[in-house]
Amino acid sequence: MLAQNYENAVAEILINIGSIKFSFHKPFTLTSGLKSPVYVDCRKIISFVKERNQILDYATKYFEEHKINFDIMAGGETAGIPYAAYLSDSLQKPMIYVRKKPKGFGNDQQIEGHYKKNQKAILIEDLATDGGSKIVFIEALRKAELLVSDVFVIFYYNIFDIKNSPLASSNINIHYLATWKNIIDVISKKNLYTNENIDNLNSYLQNPSRWRKENE
C-alpha cells in the first residue's frame, strides 16, 4: 500500500541524491541555452541502489493501486529504458523500447522487442516537462498499431496548462510520483533554503520567461 505522503518521500530522495540541483546565485545553463535556478537529472537514480529501489517500490505500488490497464511497457530512448526494465520485472509485464527515430539500417525499426498489434502499451520515461518530448514516442507506438493512452514518469513538472500542451490532442493521461509542489514542500519544511531562495524558485516556476528577464 502506498504511503500517505509518498510524493514528498520521492521528492526528498531526488533532492538527497542530487537529481534535483539548485543554484540560485549562478543559474544553470540548460541545453536550450536558457538559464534556470534548478536542474533536474532523474538519470542519476539508477546509480543509487537503495534509493532507486525505494522509488521503484512506490512506482510498483502506484501501478497496482491505480489499476492502470496495459499489456506491455514501452521505455522511451534513452532515459526511460532502465525504468521500463525495472518495472517490467517487478510487475511481470513484457517490455519493448522505442527510439526517437528509426535506426536507419537493418530493418530500420523504431521499436525494439516483440509486440502484437492492438496491445495496450504504457510509455515509461524518467520525467516530463510539458509532455512535448513524449509525442514522438506516442506517434511511433500508434503507427505500429499499439494502443497508448498512458505515460508514467518519476517526476512531472506540472507547471504547464495541460490543455495548452502538446499532449492535449493526444488523449494521454500522465502518471507520476512527484512534482515541483512536492520539492518545494520538502525544502520549505526542512529549511534547506532561505525563504528568499524559495520565493525565487516559485517565481521561476510560475513564469520562467519573466524570471529570466529579471535575473539577466
pLDDT at 69 over 70: yes
Burial pattern 6-21, b for ≥16 Cβ within 10 A else e, equals bbbbbbbbbbebebbe
The beta strands (E) that lie in the chain are given as: 20-22, 28-29, 35-36, 38-40, 72-76, 95-98, 111-112, 120-128, 147-156, 173-179
- Indicate the DSSP class of residue 156: E
**C-beta neighbour count of 73 within 10 angstroms:** 26
pLDDT for res 93: 98
The Cα 45–Cα 19 span in angstroms is: 7
The Cα 22–Cα 204 span in angstroms is: 12
In the structure, what pLDDT confidence band is assigned to residue 169 with cuts at 50, 70 and 90? confident
Q: Region 62-79: what's the mean pLDDT?
A: 96
- Residue of 93, 10, 107, 19 whose CA lies nearest to 53: 10
Q: Region 42-67: what's the mean pLDDT?
A: 97
- Walk me through the domains of the chain, giving residue ranges and CATH numbers: 6-214 (3.40.50.2020)
pLDDT at 155 over 90: yes
pLDDT for res 38: 95
pLDDT at 1 over 70: yes
The single residue listed with the C-alpha cell 533554503 is 193
In the structure, what pLDDT confidence band is assigned to residue 4 with cuts at 50, 70 and 90? confident
pLDDT at 114 over 70: yes
In the structure, what pLDDT confidence band is assigned to residue 104 with cuts at 50, 70 and 90? low
Quote the pTM value. 0.93
pLDDT for res 162: 65
Q: Region 194-198: what's the mean pLDDT?
A: 96
Lowest-pLDDT range of 23-37, 114-128, 140-154: 23-37
Helices vs. strands in the chain: H and E counts, helices first? 7, 10
pLDDT at 94 over 90: yes
pLDDT at 89 over 80: yes
pLDDT for res 105: 65
